[in-house]
Amino acid sequence: PLAAMYAFSEPILLLLGQSPEIAGAAAEFAYGLIPQIFAYAANFPIQKFLQAQSIVAPSAYILTASMALHVAMSWVAVYRLGLGLLGASLTLSLTWWVLVAGQFAYIVLSPRCRETWTGFTWAAFADLAGFAKLSAASAVMLALEVWYFQVLILLAGMLPDPQIALDSLTVCTSIQSWVFMISVGFNAAASVRVGNELGAGNPRSAAFSAWVVTAMSALIAVLAGVLVFLLRHKLSYIFTGGEAVSRAVADLCPLLVGTIVLCGIQPVLSGVAVGCGWQALVAYINIGCYYFIGVPLGALLGFKFDYGIKVL
């Protein structure tokens, strides 16, 4: 279903009110991301398999090498071969498959996984119903959070002067995503540590771990927010040279800083909840906060009361 949505993204975006120029460019990029969807499906189980054994460093090394390869391939595809948006998205998909292959090779070849990985067996399908229940709740929890930002981008494309609105919002969400990735790392650490401590019958240690990781992530987010605010007039030039976009990004930066700080805490708390087995509860909270409060309120203030991109 997701691959079909990507394949028909242009008519879907036109139906949702986007301009033909924006819909066409987005569809071109989406076509190249179709292989990435399947890489996601392989990567995250592999990653969690390693994290559950506290094997984190190999994934980090493989990811670093993949990122360096991605930068080189993107430059060749976009600037040397002139493949534009399609080339950029295809290299992104290829990078994800390189990441999957590298981690899987580590699992198969490393002596650290010799006791836990013995090959594919039918035992993997034992208690599949219970596993599917937890997986579905986790997927809904994550999807609702990620899709929320895409909904904001769709709304921004319907504002007056959608090009500036989309460009400035994309710059801000990209910066926020950089910091968010740090919190996602703490999210994974929190879910594994809390889950392991609870499984070992150590609730006090689990609570202490939750407090420590939340405090560390929040501190990093505050420092990142201060840095973003100090550089607010320069940040957009990392992405584009437009003066209008630079002014719009600088205008949005005080709100961006608040988002960065909050996003330094929220993913960690989600990780703690996952470690406790509360995925369904987090999914319900995400539905209420994002879609019953955030989106309607943003649309109302942005379109009815003309607050524009700031309220989004």
Tell me the pLDDT tens digit for each residue of 263-303.
889 889 988 988 888 877 887 888 888 889 888 888 888 88
Tell me: do 175 and 229 sit in the same domain: yes
pTM exceeding 0.75: no
Tell me: do 57 and 200 sit in the same domain: no
The count of structural domains within the chain is 2
Helix H or strand E encompassing 35: helix 20-51
Residue recorded with tokens 């119903």 = 129
The domain boundary residue, chosen from 88, 119, 150: 119
Tell me: do 81 and 155 sit in the same domain: no
- Give the pLDDT confidence score for residue 228 in this predicted structure: 92
The domain boundary residue, chosen from 119, 145, 167: 119
Q: Measured between alpha carbons, how far is 241 from 253 in angstroms, rounded to an integer?
A: 17
- Give the pLDDT confidence score for residue 21 in this predicted structure: 86
Give me the domain span that covers residue 251: 131-312
Handedness of CA 54, 193, 221, 252 (dihedral sign): positive
Q: Is 254 among the domain residues?
A: yes
Residue 7 pLDDT greater than 80, yes or no: yes
Please write the tens of the pLDDT for every residue from 168-210. 888 888 888 888 888 888 888 888 889 888 888 888 988 998 9
Tell me: do 191 and 211 sit in the same domain: yes
Q: Is 135 among the domain residues?
A: yes
On whether the CB atoms of residues 164 and 246 are closer than 8 A, the answer is no
- Give the pLDDT confidence score for residue 96 in this predicted structure: 95
On whether the CB atoms of residues 190 and 278 are closer than 8 A, the answer is no
- Give the pLDDT confidence score for residue 300 in this predicted structure: 87
Please write the tens of the pLDDT for every residue from 48-61. 899 888 888 899 89
- The closest of 302, 170, 306 to 249, measured between CA atoms, is 170
Tell me: do 152 and 267 sit in the same domain: yes
Q: Measured between alpha carbons, how far is 107 from 10 in angstroms, rounded to an integer?
A: 39
**What average pLDDT does the chain have?**
87
How does 100-118 read in b/e, with b if 16+ C-beta sit within 10 Å? Answer: bebbeebbeeeeebeeeee
Tell me: do 147 and 238 sit in the same domain: yes
Tell me: do 62 and 152 sit in the same domain: no
Please write the tens of the pLDDT for every residue from 216-235. 999 999 999 999 999 998 88
Please write the tens of the pLDDT for every residue from 44-101. 889 889 988 888 889 989 999 999 999 999 999 999 999 999 999 999 999 999 999 9
Tell me: do 278 and 193 sit in the same domain: yes
Tell me: do 227 and 272 sit in the same domain: yes
Tell me: do 115 and 135 sit in the same domain: no
Q: What is the mean pLDDT of residues 240-265?
A: 88
Q: Is 124 among the domain residues?
A: no
